[in-house]
Copies of this chain bind each other. A is one copy, B any other.
Amino acid sequence: MPLDLPLADEQPVERSDAARNREALLVAAQRLVDQCGVDSVTMDAVAQEAGVGKGTVFRRFESREGLMAAVLDRSETAWQGAVIGGPPPLGPGAEPMERLLAFGHTRLRLNLTHGALIRAADRSGARSFAAVSFAAMHVRYLLTQLGVTGDIPLLATALMAPLEVVILEQQAGREHIPVERIEAAWDDLVRRVVNG
């Protein structure tokens, strides 16, 4: 075996160190987003929060935009994981209606944060097709479980539409409607669609 090839049991150790490092920085950035809002997340603040040098943050993410994109991806992935295999009522095990309401409430709060993250990541307003299609598949599945008949794909879209970033930012941001009221109105919409 040539000596200049990396040993199979060597590289994974290095990789997992890098992954832990990266994860610690993303956790720190997410904590700042949750506590102080997206605007407070500078490369300096993240370095300080994670207890590393600013250079380390730049080495891992290149720019504030890169860091914000990584926080966004991590948040979306964590939410999808919770839907697929997390505890009920969002995850499996609860009744379909309970799961649907938990889907809406978590998606609503996530989208309100994500709007700011998307802007900080300097992306177009459009979310990735993968994220949209995961949520759509999940709502279609729950509507079918609930015995809803009709155009299930488009009814699913109609339930997700009021949770779009552009709508939520108008309501919560410009009209100052409390999130709890938006949530209650969404629950009412779901009941009307499911019972109708």
Contact = CB atoms under 8 A, between A and B. Distances in A.
A161 interface: yes
Contact of A166 (B125, B154, B177): B125
Contacts of A181: 151, 154
Interface in A140-196: 150-151, 154-155, 157-158, 161-162, 164, 166-167, 170-171, 174, 177, 181-182, 184-186, 188-189, 191-193, 195-196
B185 A154 contact: yes
Contacts of A158: 158, 161-162, 185-186, 189
Interface string A95-131: 0000000000000000000000000000001100100
Interface of A: 125-126, 129, 132, 150-151, 154-155, 157-158, 161-162, 164, 166-167, 170-171, 174, 177, 181-182, 184-186, 188-189, 191-193, 195-196
Given A151-B184, A154-B177, 19 more contacts: A125-B125, A126-B166, A151-B188, A154-B162, A154-B171, A155-B185, A155-B188, A157-B162, A158-B161, A158-B185, A158-B189, A161-B164, A161-B167, A164-B164, A164-B166, A164-B167, A192-B192, A193-B193, A195-B196
